[in-house]
Structure 1
Amino acid sequence: MQITFNIQYKTVFGEELLLNIVGGEAGDRTIAMSTADGLTWTCQIEAKKSEKRVDYFYSVRNCCGIKCSEWKTITHRLDLNTKASQHIIVEDLWHEIPGDTYLYSSAFTDCVNRRAEGSVKPLAYDKALRLVVRAPQLHSGARLALTGKGAVLGDWDLKKALHMTEHNHNEWIVDIDGDALDANDKNDKEVGLGNNNKICSKLVHELEFKFVAFSDKGEEMWETCENRTLTLKPLEQNEVRVVALDQSFYALCDEKVAGTLIPVFSLRSEGSFGVGDFGDLKLMVDWMAKTHQRLLQVLPINDSTSTHTWTDSYPYSCISIFALHPQYADLRQLPALNDKLEADRFEVLREELNALPQIDYERVNNAKLKYLRLLFEQEGKKVLASKEFKTFFADCERWLAPYAHYCYLRDFYGTCVFSEWPDHKQWNEADRKALSNPKSELYNKVAFYYYMQFVLDQQMRSAHEYARARGVILKGDIPIGVNRNGCDVWHEPEYFHLDSQAGAPPDAFSVNGQNWGLPTYNWDRMIADGCEWWVRRFQNMAKYFDAYRIDHVLGFFRIWAIPTDCVGGLLGQFQPALAMSRDEIQSYGLNFQEHLFTTPFIAHWVVERVFREHTEEVIKTYLNHEHDDIYSLKPEYNTERKIEAAFEGKTTEKDVWLRDGLYALVDDVLFVRDRKNPNLFHPRITAQLNFMYEALWDGDKAAFNRLYNDYYYRRNNNFWYGEAMKKLPILVQATRMLVCAEDLGMVPDCVQWVMKELRILSLELQSMPKDSSVKFGYLSRNPYRSVCTLSTHDMPTLRQWWDEDWARTQEFYNSMLYRGGAAPHPLPGWLARDIVSQQLTSPSMLCVLSLQDWFAIDERIRLADADAERINIPSIPKHYWRYRMHLNIEQLLADRDFNEQVKELIDEAGRK
């Protein structure tokens, strides 16, 4: 079968259009198109009789490579439901990334606006006209039809309208009989065509029509445009002409959704095992549907087991970007243990752990792993021989084999630090053959981990389908980093830099910055292969979620890279970044004294101010005298890591004071050297709070401030924009998940440029406005493409925030809630309800509140101790993540009064 593709796209000299076919029997392929005028491009391909469809997109190539491509998340689709002898001619349109990309996401097509998949029937006509149109606004259950002038189009009678088929997400087609078009004389006319001063006559078809949407209740809605007209040359015998039309629009309001944030580990049900699991996720979906919420957001669910201690509770330090955490296995969904005595022991332990107010991470995980091992001994052989497992293994073998081997070696050697293992210090691809052979000894050593991940995958997929069927979007979380001693680094070390640590500069969460201890990425290597590692990561996540949050999206522009000898984050620098030369620094009027500005400034008055009555002790124990009243740190204390080691185990108030004071001395520099080029420099973050800055002359302070503001807020904007656009376009188009981003912190202007261009939803917190000219954000100014919330998992809950700073609360009470008098403390339920209502009525597409903030509206149901509701405290490097709901989901489902309050607030705000 011959297919001809035609498209109009204006190019300049040296550019050519490419047709890129995705998948199919022949695999991915690219065909160069031809043109006579640089505007109309064409090419032909031959399709096999067995092919059912062709998915494709267009791109532009010049001498430097691919200049640009169409939006690739939803490609063009050509159904080959025609007769083998027919010639298909496609008249196409170029698709830029649309403003309403969110409506094409699986969050909307498979959850909120879920519709049954259309079935394309074989074409019965000898020649046919196929019209193709996109209509993303249609709601669940709606169908599209076409009606127009003439009998062939139904003569504007909706009862005779031509019903269309949704053959691709939000894209509809209808096939019209070509012979019927010829017979439709009322729509035909003779037209004179000039050709070399000769007049000829040719019949054309002139169609006048419009699209109309029918709801599942039979209500109709016409598209908002004027009647469409289409002029066509006559169809030849055995020709199928496919014409792509402009998008169909309807008078429908933008859809807004309400939802809840709760980590999976925080869920509690009557039958869970001391921690939330994937079975509890289904119960939580029931509560979402019952209260008219359409989005359930969770924290990362990847395996973070590195030490088998409570420190593994940190979910943003995964050992595998693919493997799921074993703590989330729902033991209720698995076969019962045959050993009744053992089963009874586990039941007693389950009841004990489930009654605890918080998670006992170590006991829960040890118990679950023991249970899964017993079950593997009982059921593993049968499960691993099943067709379902073999399909899973074939799909996941690339990451699953290294992961299982890593876990086995971690436990065998008793440490996750693979650099300390006597052998296997790095993944050996030669091991894959044995790891994939059920008859090998190595396979049987690691088979338990295969079984465990298969069970977790099946349960999480089931929870995902359960949520979709109830119209609830599951939203996941993609951490910016991975554990430096994890499987990902062991398996593919070329993608990481281990000589620095990822973190964040000082912000509202932490005045000294955050040091996550995670390795930074080798972006040059990642970009070289088209960010294939990230694409695999996102596509794996799409198995379980329909939306995701990019944790610390700023890391895709630049990451805060901290030296490995640092504990805090103040001596970090942005990577990549345009560092400054000596001449550039001096051009601002600052007399650059390299040694003085790049080494800790420790004058006697500095020591006195920091250590007060302990000044002499500090000088004697930790410092060397240099000259005059200037000191330096002794070599054994000249880095934060050395100081940390010296004070390990010392917890008295004095020891903490001395340790933190010594940290401050290490950090007391005005510039840090660039890690790649020691002759370039970066102004130290928040250096204006330094003693070195305090010691400058006023003129030097002014010069440094000019330099500092240019560096952090202007100098790198275009550079960071370019860095982000090398990565993010690939990633956001890798799946159909709805893309949201955490864009808080020290946000350069270019972040908004990229997020707007790629249609990424921003995060909006009223207490942390992006407009520096206001203290609290105005909710009415929230962009539609945004997620609004009261608090994140890293922040105090609404009730905690209310009591943190009474002066700030009073200003919020008067200026944002428009109430007079003194603000009440603690936060009463009626006022929390008012605050929640304002969030819900904002223009933001998504309003996602933490479960704790939902509880705040009802004093009867909320936890008495507001501080017990905190999930994470970023300023504590090793925080124990153990928050659990104080009541179980069954109780929540049964609480009619509370559920009615939630439902009423959502309905009043016009959210779905």
Structure 2
Amino acid sequence: MKIEFYLRFKTRYGQALFVSGNLLSLGANETENAFPLRYLNDEFWYGSIDVDPTEIHTFHYHYVFQDENGERSKEGEKHRSVDLKKITSNLVLIDSWNDEGFFENAFYTAPFQTVFLKEGKKEKPKKEEDFTHLFKVKAPLLQAAEAVCLLGNVPELGAWNKENFLLLTKKGEWWTIGVNLSNENLPASYKYGVVDAETNAFLRFEGGDDRFVFNDDVANKKTIVHDAFIRLPNTSWKGTGIAIPVFSLRSANSFGIGEFADIKPLADWAKETGLKLIQLLPINDTSATFTWKDSYPYAAISAFALHPVYINLQKVAGKKKAQSLKGISGKQKALNELAEIDYEAVMSAKMVVLYELYEASEMSFLDERTYEEFFEENKHWLVPYAAFCFYRDKYKTSDFSKWKTGSVYNEAEVAKLTSHKSKSFKQIAFFYFVQYHLHLQLKEAVDYAHKKGLAIKGDIPIGIYRYGADAWTSPSLYNMNVQAGAPPDDFAVKGQNWGFPTYNWQEMEENNFDWWKKRFHQMGHYFDAFRIDHILGFFRIWSVPMNAVEGILGRFIPALPVTAHEFGERSIWFDYNRYCKPYVTDAVLSQTFGDKAALVKESFLQPNEAGRYDLREEFNTQRKVDFYFSLQEANGDNHQLKQGLFDLISNVLLFEEGSGGQRFHFRISMEDTPSFQYLDEDVKHKLKDLYVDYFYRRQDQFWKEEAMKKLPALKDATNMLICGEDLGMVPHSVPDVMKQLGILSLEVQRMPKNPQTEFFHPKDAPYLSVVTPSTHDMSTVRGWWEEDREKTQKFFNNILGEQGTAPQFCEPWINRAVVLQHLYSPAMWSIFQLQDILGMDEKLRRENPHEERINLPANPTHYWNYRMHLPLEQLCKEESFNEEVKTYIRNSGRGN
């Protein structure tokens, strides 16, 4: 059998195209071994192969693009396949390139395929053996009663008569129809159209020019024409979502903290108001210390395990053991009446009851078929996680380096520990029991939301916890000798140090990203979409040395360094000690410490040969300083001294890479340091020029290549809709890569990506984006309104278009105006924190907006304990408010 490929694609000189598939001649799905096509004309690239039809029954293939630099990328089409058993002749494939960035591809991801979009009316397909040409096209946004038709200029295609259209049949993602065309009918022009499948009335043609099928000898050939997408206005679908952490939910039945069961009344309210999506923060187990510090949802001890704090005890007990919970009803009520979460009290109470219910179960759950299925599906992470928790509880710490046994993961030892015959099995199985019930409860809540027409969006943290099961089981996948963080910004002027190890991407790539694929697979049980926390980390990560406390001492990794030779090229005398060591003089000390300068010199410094000062060995890193002051009295003077010493240590211009004095990286915000300020003007100018080159010129292509090693493979591993949190110091290549891959961007009104503007306007958002007035890392609209009077005034006049003096407080009508701006945005999604929705109503909004903030990024020990101030049951009954929200959503075109 001969297979011919014709691909419609316009290229430039130096570019090339390939076809990859599950045939050996196409490289057996290995992109680097794909079959090369050749340029045919301005419209087509062409190639042909000979195939033994007995080699494989179903033939899958896709195309690969290679740019002028030799970089290859796959198209977005995942479902081109041919049943070779039904093909007895030669095969011609006429295809259109499906770019991953085409927004229509979003409609074939999980939320649209499983929740939002219904299939058109199915007709019994004609036998495929009857055609010479099989036409295939995708039409993602048809209404339920609509179908695709075909019309063309020859009698076999209806001769453009709208009463003689050919009705296509929906088969999977494709609308298809087989047509017999003789040589005399070719070339033929045609178009797709839309019909009412119930009345058979022709409704409209697709847009654009006529399509053509060219002249060819049809004898002994089958031709399949993949026409990609029908040309209809496919940016019309827009949805609205609500963002709230599970822990912040409040219902009459919860236990002082939101639970998975509370997603159901939230779904009821969301359905009532016309919302389409519920966005959650990470829900993984963070139980490292069993203190309030575990409230931080981005420090999970497992990237797979769910958090026990979200379990509903009544559901675990069931009717048979409901009586056993009566003794805790008072505790439940007291905790549930609190304005904020008492994390430690909730966790302690729940774990005690869970142990009791586990004991009462007599481990009968092990024999349940659904448990057996759960265990088999999840044992790759569940067994090591249970072993980790066993050791954590045994040694009273999750820091596995301090365990007397098991500190180094050994698969054989873990298998022995977790064996049914082990003396420890009863303790181990408790964690199976809890995770099993969490899975059942979350799945029940998700299924309920789906039935209400709602999708669920999760959150993938950029890092893993240093003292968690993932690091314990596979330390080679992470760089354990550094800390991940973020560079300084307006919200954290000293940068952020998250404390996570960074990913060892080289090792992960060598493992074919197996850990990520398993993670996505497990997330796919519960989520239809997810947010990639800090997607910039896939381009480069802010890496902080272990001896640093503040993120400001970090640098981007990977990054192309500046060399000592470059300083000479720019006529800069390279003084290693001056640029790479803390610059400490009497003037700097006076500037930093005021009247405490003498005390600092005497206690923490020593003079050097250059007439300046060095920090003493015992105080020459931020970690050493932090440890010293942790032993001192906590007061204002000591805090000032500690921060001043932190600032001295970070008062450098360059970090050396390795040793040898040849490769260096600039300290971020170099021009703000006293070290820089005390240079002469000529050196300042030359250094700043090199600094700008380092951060804003030389890295961009390099970082793009790094991202393209990771993101395409990860995106290919899941059908969830992917949204990226692309905020902060964004490299120029990030928008292009996200657009190329069809990853939705995040657009925040008060964090414009254009440095020339102070605010972003939602009307300027791209279609493939999420617009929001605030995120969990920010104050709410009402809280922000009171933070900076000057900014508020500019926003009031320039963005809201109002004249005069801005009100002192964010009145409901102002909050409403902000929400409406986002609803009328062209973005696919507008997603709001619940606080910002409630802020529109004088009666329902919280009295003090500053109590509504979820996180303070500048504070690494922030207590994440925000709760809704009113129960979901009450919110569901607020008919007037709910109707108002529903009307706004419907009128903005987001009702769908």
Fold match by TM threshold 0.5: yes
Which amino acid counterpart does residue 540 of structure 1 have in structure 2?
Answer: Q
Query: Aligned-pair distance for 1:863?
Result: 0.6
- The answer on 1:57 being equivalent to 2:62 is yes
Q: Choose the corresponding residue for 1:95, options 95, 98, 103.
A: 98
| Residues 861, 325 of structure 1: alpha-carbon distance in 2 compared, 3 angstrom cutoff | same
- Where in structure 2 are the equivalents of 1:834-853 lying within 5 Å? 834-853=817-836
Q: Choose the corresponding residue for 1:172, options 167, 171, 175.
A: 175
Query: Aligned-pair distance for 1:469?
Result: 2.9
Whole-angstrom CA distance in 1 between matches of 2:667 and 2:828: 38
Query: Aligned-pair distance for 1:118?
Result: 6.3
Which amino acid counterpart does residue 312 of structure 1 have in structure 2?
Answer: D
Any conservation in 2 of the 1:260–1:851 contact (CA below 8 Å)?
yes
Task: State which drifts further: 730-739 or 583-592.
Answer: 583-592
Q: Secondary structure at 1:501's aligned position in 2?
A: strand
Any conservation in 2 of the 1:16–1:32 contact (CA below 8 Å)?
no
Structure 2 residue aligned with 1:679: 662
- The answer on 1:77 being equivalent to 2:77 is no
Query: Aligned-pair distance for 1:498?
Result: 1.2
Whole-angstrom CA distance in 1 between matches of 2:149 and 2:443: 34
Any conservation in 2 of the 1:114–1:141 contact (CA below 8 Å)?
no
- Where in structure 2 are the equivalents of 1:319-338 lying within 5 Å? 319-336=301-318, 338=320
| Residues 139, 638 of structure 1: alpha-carbon distance in 2 compared, 3 angstrom cutoff | farther
Which amino acid counterpart does residue 313 of structure 1 have in structure 2?
Answer: S
Whole-angstrom CA distance in 1 between matches of 2:659 and 2:861: 30
Any conservation in 1 of the 2:398–2:468 contact (CA below 8 Å)?
yes
- Where in structure 2 are the equivalents of 1:730-879 lying within 5 Å? 730-879=713-862
| Residues 699, 431 of structure 1: alpha-carbon distance in 2 compared, 3 angstrom cutoff | same
- The answer on 1:522 being equivalent to 2:525 is no
Which amino acid counterpart does residue 42 of structure 1 have in structure 2?
Answer: S
Which amino acid counterpart does residue 292 of structure 2 have in structure 1?
Answer: W
Whole-angstrom CA distance in 2 between matches of 1:536 and 1:141: 38
| Residues 442, 161 of structure 1: alpha-carbon distance in 2 compared, 3 angstrom cutoff | farther
Structure 1 residue aligned with 2:697: 714
Query: Aligned-pair distance for 1:891?
Result: 0.9
- The answer on 1:42 being equivalent to 2:45 is no
Query: Aligned-pair distance for 1:314?
Result: 0.6
- Where in structure 2 are the equivalents of 1:25-40 lying within 5 Å? 39-40=45-46
Q: Choose the corresponding residue for 2:325, options 326, 331, 343.
A: 343
| Residues 383, 906 of structure 1: alpha-carbon distance in 2 compared, 3 angstrom cutoff | same
What is the aligned-residue RMSD (CA, Å)?
3.4
Q: Choose the corresponding residue for 2:489, options 493, 504, 507.
A: 507
Query: Aligned-pair distance for 1:151?
Result: 7.5
Task: State which drifts further: 526-535 or 637-646.
Answer: 526-535
Query: Aligned-pair distance for 1:578?
Result: 1.0
Query: Aligned-pair distance for 1:629?
Result: 5.8
Whole-angstrom CA distance in 1 between matches of 2:23 and 2:299: 35
Query: Aligned-pair distance for 1:531?
Result: 2.7
- Identify unmatched segments of 5+ residues in structure 2: none
Whole-angstrom CA distance in 2 between matches of 1:312 and 1:863: 26
Whole-angstrom CA distance in 1 between matches of 2:123 and 2:550: 58
Whole-angstrom CA distance in 1 between matches of 2:358 and 2:2: 53
Whole-angstrom CA distance in 1 between matches of 2:425 and 2:756: 61
- The answer on 1:894 being equivalent to 2:877 is yes
Whole-angstrom CA distance in 2 between matches of 1:228 and 1:36: 23
Whole-angstrom CA distance in 1 between matches of 2:441 and 2:199: 35
Structure 1 residue aligned with 2:334: 352
How far does the alpha carbon of each residue in 1:814-856 deviate from its partner, in whole angstroms, 9 at most, with x for none?
2222222211121111111112211222222211111111111
Structure 1 residue aligned with 2:271: 289
Q: Choose the corresponding residue for 2:578, options 596, 602, 611.
A: 596
Structure 1 residue aligned with 2:250: 268
Any conservation in 2 of the 1:791–1:797 contact (CA below 8 Å)?
yes
Structure-2-length-normalised TM-score? 0.90
Q: Choose the corresponding residue for 1:544, options 517, 526, 534.
A: 526
Structure 2 residue aligned with 1:388: 370
Structure 2 residue aligned with 1:478: 460
Q: Secondary structure at 2:551's aligned position in 1?
A: coil
Whole-angstrom CA distance in 1 between matches of 2:593 and 2:861: 26
Structure 2 residue aligned with 1:21: 22
Structure 1 residue aligned with 2:346: 364
Any conservation in 2 of the 1:70–1:95 contact (CA below 8 Å)?
no
- Where in structure 2 are the equivalents of 1:76-155 lying within 5 Å? 76-78=80-82, 86=88, 89=91, 91-93=93-95, 94-100=97-103, 101-115=105-119, 123=127, 129-139=133-143, 142-147=146-151
Structure-1-length-normalised TM-score? 0.89
How far does the alpha carbon of each residue in 1:875-896 deviate from its partner, in whole angstroms, 9 at most, with x for none?
1111110111001111111101
Whole-angstrom CA distance in 1 between matches of 2:639 and 2:545: 22
- The answer on 1:634 being equivalent to 2:590 is no
How many residues were matched structurally? 882
Which amino acid counterpart does residue 414 of structure 1 have in structure 2?
Answer: K
Whole-angstrom CA distance in 1 between matches of 2:879 and 2:2: 60
Which amino acid counterpart does residue 645 of structure 1 have in structure 2?
Answer: F
Structure 1 residue aligned with 2:224: 242
Any conservation in 2 of the 1:9–1:41 contact (CA below 8 Å)?
no
Q: Secondary structure at 2:304's aligned position in 1?
A: coil
Query: Aligned-pair distance for 1:731?
Result: 1.6
- Where in structure 2 are the equivalents of 1:216-255 lying within 5 Å? 220-225=203-208, 228-230=211-213, 241-251=223-233, 253-255=235-237
Q: Secondary structure at 1:369's aligned position in 2?
A: helix
Q: Secondary structure at 1:548's aligned position in 2?
A: strand
Any conservation in 1 of the 2:121–2:197 contact (CA below 8 Å)?
no
- The answer on 1:430 being equivalent to 2:412 is yes
Task: State which drifts further: 560-569 or 146-155.
Answer: 146-155
Q: Secondary structure at 2:831's aligned position in 1?
A: strand
Whole-angstrom CA distance in 2 between matches of 1:730 and 1:56: 17
Any conservation in 2 of the 1:120–1:167 contact (CA below 8 Å)?
no
| Residues 562, 800 of structure 1: alpha-carbon distance in 2 compared, 3 angstrom cutoff | same
Structure 2 residue aligned with 1:200: none
Q: Choose the corresponding residue for 2:295, options 313, 322, 325.
A: 313
Q: Secondary structure at 1:783's aligned position in 2?
A: coil
| Residues 835, 8 of structure 1: alpha-carbon distance in 2 compared, 3 angstrom cutoff | closer
How far does the alpha carbon of each residue in 1:186-233 deviate from its partner, in whole angstroms, 9 at most, with x for none?
xx575xxxxxxxxxxxx8795856332447898734322455454576
Whole-angstrom CA distance in 2 between matches of 1:824 and 1:758: 43
Query: Aligned-pair distance for 1:868?
Result: 0.8
| Residues 784, 697 of structure 1: alpha-carbon distance in 2 compared, 3 angstrom cutoff | same
Query: Aligned-pair distance for 1:559?
Result: 0.8
Query: Aligned-pair distance for 1:753?
Result: 2.2
Which amino acid counterpart does residue 107 of structure 1 have in structure 2?
Answer: P
Whole-angstrom CA distance in 1 between matches of 2:650 and 2:35: 59
Any conservation in 1 of the 2:456–2:529 contact (CA below 8 Å)?
yes
| Residues 211, 262 of structure 1: alpha-carbon distance in 2 compared, 3 angstrom cutoff | same
Which amino acid counterpart does residue 288 of structure 1 have in structure 2?
Answer: A
How far does the alpha carbon of each residue in 1:325-355 deviate from its partner, in whole angstroms, 9 at most, with x for none?
1222233433437556631123222222111
Any conservation in 2 of the 1:304–1:312 contact (CA below 8 Å)?
yes
Q: Choose the corresponding residue for 2:432, options 443, 450, 453.
A: 450
Which amino acid counterpart does residue 261 of structure 2 have in structure 1?
Answer: G
- The answer on 1:881 being equivalent to 2:864 is yes
Query: Aligned-pair distance for 1:154?
Result: 6.4
Whole-angstrom CA distance in 2 between matches of 1:215 and 1:284: 36
Q: Secondary structure at 2:370's aligned position in 1?
A: helix
Q: Secondary structure at 1:726's aligned position in 2?
A: helix
- Identify unmatched segments of 5+ residues in structure 1: 182-187, 191-202
| Residues 637, 3 of structure 1: alpha-carbon distance in 2 compared, 3 angstrom cutoff | same
